A and B are shown apart, each in its own frame.
Chain A
Amino acid sequence: MKIDTVDVVREGVDADTVAAVRTVGERYKYGFESDIETEYAPKGLNEDIVRLISSKNEEPEWLLDWRLAAYRRWVNLTEPTWAMVHYPAIDFQDQYYYAQPKSMAVRPKSLDEVDPELLRTYEKLGIPLKEQALLAGVEAPEGERRVAVDAVFDSVSLGTTFKEELAKAGVIFCPISEAVRDHPELVKKYLGTVVPASDNYYATLNSAVFSDGSFVYIPEGVRCPMELSTYFRINAQNTGQFERTLIIAEKGSYVSYLEGCTAPMRDENQLHAAVVELIIHEDAEIKYSTVQNWYPGDENGKGGIYNFVTKRADCRGDRAKVMWTQVETGSAITWKYPSCILRGDGSQGEFYSIAIANNMQQADTGTKMIHLGKNTRSRIVSKGISAGKAQNTYRGLVSMHPKAKNSRNYTQCDSLLIGDQCGAHTVPYIECRNNSSRIEHEATTSKVDDDQLFYCRSRGMDEEEAVALVVNGFCKEVLQSLPMEFAMEAQKLVAISLEGSVG
């Protein structure tokens, strides 16, 4: 109980708590830098850089041509400005488009050959790379649970665990640079078929300069024996990271894929423009989960990652299923709309998202569900949390095409506001072009009540525990849809991202 007077900013909010929000920027615990000697391509972007990237990856002619076509297109495009995000103009020439740890100049054949400092970085981040290691913090009651990990440091994949075992099941899980060399026919068949190089400004840029990413192929009828995961770490300064992920699930197959991302704290902004393409054939299923924790910038909005991502799933076969689950807590600017093209009859798309924006973060994120086939279903559950001076926008499209008879969508879009200087916006687009579809949209906006927090505190919880409890309740539905490993990390992350942000 305070004896001296407390300024009341607004009913239910006091200046103390608003001030406490500002300390959140100091808590990003992944902000360390790794002291790795890095080799950079010359700054700026031109055809020579594109050729350099291609040659570093030892790519065949057809891929170089593909890149160059994309680059030539990009040069004539202008950045889109329709999103509800504001940032100083990016000087695309003032960036490095390729950075590689020097020790990786000659690619190691196994993890044992990788620079131990690199491996230490991943260890520090809690990502175990050794073959028998479990993903940090996980112990399943059934016994040992293994997750195959592909580690990408700056633009380069360090290596992938459990490759032999996966190979026995016929599963291909390797860096995309390797897939281009070892499985060119697959890459050629599918690359750019879900997100063509002409799709949007950032996809075009990515198509020109993508360096690495993950490639996954699950053969017909195979249920991938373990979860696959890629961990992205940006370390080099002033470097854009453009990774490209391609996942193909053949008929009747299943895979659960996890993506984690962190970056050091820096004063300059860094660009991250990735493209993820998923192809799902008949009766197959892909579950794609992301826990994004890029450096969000400090409390004044200095530094932080610009995250412009194009993710799309093409449910090509009948009864194909895809589930996108994301927990977005970092990056200064987020622009991403993981989408589903529900082409096959009876195909299903689901999107579960928690997007947290604190301090000066801005997020414009959502999804697109394009119903083309009959009896297709989609479900969207989006939880946006805004705190500090952040702006959080949900932008969604649900589109039922004329032939998508009996298609259904359910959308629930909830916003939680903490404090009185943040914003939550919703921009839903609904297009229905046949008369047998059913679309439901529910939206709520609420704030974390002082009364709720006092109730929790009067029962013994401290302020941070109380906020975490209330916010977790808000996000419950989405957290429950995450794979167990991620669910625990995500819950902690949600609490950390909101430390001090009581309102």
Chain B
Amino acid sequence: MLNIKNLHVKLEEEDKVILKGVDLNIGAGEVHAIMGPNGSGKSTLSYVLAGRDGYEVTDGSASLDGVDLLDMDPEDRAAAGLFLAFQYPVEIPGVGNMTFLRTAANAQRKARGEEELSAAAFLKLVRAKAASLQIDAEMLKRPVNVGFSGGEKKRNEILQMAVLEPKMCILDETDSGLDVDAMKLVAEGVNALRSAGRSFLIITHYQRLLDHIKPDFVHIMADGKIIKTDGPDLALEVENNGYADLLAEVA
């Protein structure tokens, strides 16, 4: 599904290289986790895949189902099935949550040549998915993320994911700032979306999320590269011992 080969990325404004040759392959239906020390480039990787400005790719490639991602505008990547759940979701005053969702969903459908959903059909669809995330009608009417608590913002990201039905979902520290119950709710939301045609890349610092969303593979990223890949036990190892040993191995 997602193939990243030897990706080198630097900041546009400065001569700072963040990704120094990332190789990563995610197959359909797989759940991968990325952990690593702060500053290792995890968030940068997610932003580069989503198409945020401010980064320059100096080498390497990234493709989604064989299509070159890096050449596409952010909205085209979304229509192609990529979704990034942000670590810090932005507020959009005056724009109702439902309006935002409908505009996004229909924009993607239009781009794919599919029929747009009517307001009534869409409402039904959203209500069903919102209920399981404990997002009530009132929250759907509020402006996007305005005044939302940390937990509400993250649940809202998962709601968007559920409504837009992407095939490659990147979760950037979705568990940061969440209490245990909120985290469980988010994990349940993600698990409900797991399917053979959908893959996940979960960026996290903590094992506890991975207790609930069991990954197939765990990668450790440090200093702009993936230094180790293994099964779920790797995360437990890091949780218990920290990164020092792993970094020493590579050095």
List chain A positions with a Cβ less than 8 A from chain B.
Answer: 1-3, 5-6, 8, 14, 449-452, 454-463, 465, 469-470, 472-477
Contacts and interface: CB of A to CB of B under 8 A. Distances in A.
B97 to A, nearest CB: 11
Contacts of A450: 53
Interface of B: 12-13, 48, 50-53, 55-57, 69-75, 77-79, 83-84, 86, 89-95, 99-100, 103-105, 107-108, 111, 143, 160, 164
Given A1-B72, A459-B104, A454 B53 contact: yes
Contacts of A460: 75, 78-79, 104-105, 107-108, 111, 164
Given A5-B12, A460-B107, 11 more contacts: A1-B72, A452-B90, A455-B90, A456-B100, A458-B75, A461-B75, A465-B103, A469-B99, A469-B103, A470-B95, A472-B95
Nearest to A461: B107
A472 B94 contact: yes
B86 A455 contact: yes
A1 B57 contact: yes
B143 A455 contact: no
Contact of B92 (A8, A465, A470): A470
B92 A455 contact: yes
A381 to B, nearest CB: 12
Given A452-B92, A472-B94, A473-B95, A458 B12 contact: no
A459 B160 contact: yes
A458 B53 CA distance: 12
Contacts of B83: 458
11 contacts: A1-B57, A2-B53, A2-B56, A450-B53, A451-B90, A457-B51, A457-B73, A458-B77, A469-B99, A474-B94, A475-B94
User: By CB atoms of chain A within 10 A, which of B50, B72, B73, B94 has the most?
Assistant: B94
B53 A465 contact: no
Contacts of A452: 90-92
B89 A455 contact: yes
B57 A3 contact: yes
Nearest to B62: A1
A6 B52 CA distance: 13
A461 B12 contact: no
Contacts of A477: 94
Nearest to B79: A460
B202 to A, nearest CB: 17
Contacts of B89: 455
Nearest to B84: A458
Contacts of A470: 92, 95
A375 to B, nearest CB: 32
A465 B107 contact: yes
Nearest to B109: A460
A31 B94 CA distance: 32
B98 to A, nearest CB: 13
A477 B51 CA distance: 33
Given A1-B70, A3-B56, A462-B73, A473 B107 contact: no
Nearest to B145: A455
A455 B84 CA distance: 9
Contacts of A463: 75
B78 A6 contact: no
B90 A461 contact: no
